[in-house]
Amino acid sequence: MTRRRMLVSALGLTGVGALWISSGSAAKDGPAGVVALIPVAAVSALALAWIGWEFAGERFTRRTAGWSINIGVFVLTPLISLLIDDNPDPTNTSVVALALAAGAAAAMGGAIWRVFELAGDAIHEWKLERAAQH
């Protein structure tokens, strides 16, 4: 493992730890309230990753599914807790807005990924054609 990778991993773990600590202390039910959101976050992350990869035109594999579930459990769980736990709205419309915004962001991210990929392919083909002409 390179030094850069170790540094990025350490910073990532520190950030995730801080996120869990802040969400656990802010939750009404404490850490148990945050842990209860793990299934929701895991399924949400899996669905959002699938949407993003479909819009990107890439294949959604078991490996990408595993990564998305891990990200959902460790990152999305405390974020969901922080965003919706102290909501005074009895209809809880922020949950719907959060879900719609996340789905739109995943689709947009995948579409942007695909556009850059297509642009890169076009530039590569243009360079090959240009080199063949000379």
CA-to-CA distance for 105 and 62, rounded, in angstroms? Answer: 22
Q: Taking the model in full, what pTM does it have?
A: 0.64
Per-residue pLDDT, 52: 81
How distant is the alpha carbon of residue 114 from its chain centre? Answer: 17
Q: Which of 88, 99, 89, 97 is nearest to 45 (CA)?
A: 99
Q: Encode pLDDT of 64-78 as tens digits.
A: 888 888 888 888 888
Per-residue pLDDT, 89: 65
Using only C-alpha atoms, the chain has a radius of gyration, in whole angstroms, of 20
Query: Which tokens belong to 80?
Result: 């969901």
Other CB atoms closer than 10 Å to residue 56's CB: what's the count? 20
CA-to-CA distance for 110 and 102, rounded, in angstroms? Answer: 12
Cβ-based burial of 28 (10 A; exposed 0-12, middle 13-18, buried ≥19) = exposed
Domain chopping of the chain, boundaries: 3-133
pLDDT at residue 108 above 70? yes
Per-residue pLDDT, 37: 81
Q: Which of 55, 51, 19 is nearest to 34 (CA)?
A: 19
Per-residue pLDDT, 124: 93
- Which value, to the nearest 10 degrees, does the dihedral of the CA atoms of residues 86, 89, 105, 4 take? 0
Per-residue pLDDT, 87: 63
